[in-house]
Amino acid sequence: MSSSAQTILDVRDLHTHFFLRRGVVKAVDGVSFTLRKGEVLGLVGESGCGKSLTALSVMRLLPKGAARTVQGEIVLDGENILKRTPAQMREIRGRKISMVLQDPQTSLNPVFSIGDQLREALLRRGPAKLKEIMKQAVAALRRVDIAAPEQRIGQYPHQMSGGMKQRVVGAIAISGEPEVLIADEPTTALDVTIQLQYLKLLKRLQRENGMAILFITHDFGVVARMCDRVAVMYAGRIVECGPVKQIFEAPSHPYTRALIASVPKMSGARGRLTAIDGQPPSLMDLPVGCRFASRCAHVEQRCLEAYPGTTQIGADHTADCWKTGSI
């Protein structure tokens, strides 16, 4: 993916907080990244670091009441969609940007047939006759490699396997031919064999549509197979971002190195698995300095006193670390 490719999604200094009785949880606290046309950007990090909430913030599907985006911009195809009204956002979702959630069991309505749920998504394109819509629904299921789609459109979610349900969710997500697809750990609920099939399916659909994908995962194996670039997230911030090859061969942030080191090796001598000592900081009481400092083997006094600025390592590679290049 060329760094000169046109940017389709530009997230700038995004802050999304949960306002609770016991305090403010800064779940997303200054996230910035770009997604280019036809690109797959991986977003990785430990559970609870803010990956899914970043995606929900971009989709403007935050939990009502407690969560709120308090600062930043989300520029989709040149327009800041944070200024859009809820009614206007409903016109954007499914057409310009869509999302595949990690659990298909909760993504599909159990009391409506697959055909009904696909038809609802297809009607977002514009009014059409029922017969034509059903033809499009069958074609959408066939496109995601579901066998006997003419029969499947009359079935309900409980009559399908997890892999088939995830394919249906994918068919719904791409039915409006969006420019951006957010895939939030879409293979988590699938077994290993089905995971590989689903990843190949996503890559094929991306090539056919030319859409950009924000792929959220905690699996570096999936990142290596799927992504052009990767952004590493920790405690509400993106701490390193760059091309996949550079991140794997020369990670610059201590947290990125620790994550890669913790991946089990299939070759070489057996030994204990590498673990990252300590715990992430509380998102209600974030430190003023580097958020990884309490777990870092290279911590210095300045790491505790101020958050490091973003260092440009290469043309398309950045990291937030005081000691970038010297470790």
Range of 68's domain? Answer: 7-96+178-320
On whether residue 154 sits in a domain, the answer given is no
Query: How far apart are alpha carbons 195 and 280 in whole angstroms?
Result: 29
* Domain CATH code at residue 294: 3.40.50.300
pLDDT at 195 over 90: no
Q: Which residues 6+ apart lie within 8 Å of 272 measured at CB?
A: none
- Helix, strand, coil percentages, rounded to 5, for the chain: 35, 25, 40
Question: Residue 146's closest CA among 198, 190, 94, 186?
Answer: 198
pLDDT in tens, 149-167: 999 999 999 999 888 898 8
Q: Contact, 76 vs 95, CB < 8 A?
A: no
Question: What per-residue confidence (pLDDT) applies to 326?
Answer: 61
Beta pairing partners, 179: none
Query: How far apart are alpha carbons 75 and 82 in whole angstroms?
Result: 8
Amino acid in position 156: Y
Query: How far apart are alpha carbons 143 and 124 in whole angstroms?
Result: 19
On whether residue 315 sits in a domain, the answer given is yes
In angstroms, what is the C-alpha Rg of the chain? 21
Distances (CA, A) of 23 to 54, 64, 291, 317: 20, 17, 19, 35
Question: For residue 47, which phi and psi values (nearest 5 degrees)?
Answer: -60, 135
On whether residue 212 sits in a domain, the answer given is yes
pLDDT in tens, 91-143: 899 889 999 987 888 889 999 999 999 988 888 776 778 888 889 999 999 98
Task: Please classify residue 234 by burial: count the beta carbons closer than 10 Å to its beta carbon, then call 0-12 exposed, 13-18 middle and 19+ buried.
Answer: buried
Question: Residue 3's closest CA among 248, 178, 242?
Answer: 242
On whether residue 220 sits in a domain, the answer given is yes
Q: Which residues 6+ apart lie within 8 Å of 276 measured at CB?
A: 255, 258, 259, 262, 295
On whether residue 170 sits in a domain, the answer given is no
Q: Contact, 253 vs 232, CB < 8 A?
A: yes
The pLDDT mean for the chain works out to 90
Query: How far apart are alpha carbons 253 and 327 in whole angstroms?
Result: 9
On whether residue 1 sits in a domain, the answer given is no
Structural domains of the chain, count: 1
Torsion from C-alpha of 239, 243, 245, 249, nearest 10 degrees: -30
On whether residue 210 sits in a domain, the answer given is yes
pTM score > 0.85 for this model?
A: yes
On whether residue 11 sits in a domain, the answer given is yes
Question: What per-residue confidence (pLDDT) applies to 130?
Answer: 81
pLDDT in tens, 8-55: 999 999 999 999 999 999 999 999 999 999 999 999 999 899 999 999
Structure tokens at 164: 């088939």
pLDDT in tens, 55-86: 999 999 998 888 999 999 999 999 999 999 99
Question: What per-residue confidence (pLDDT) applies to 12?
Answer: 97
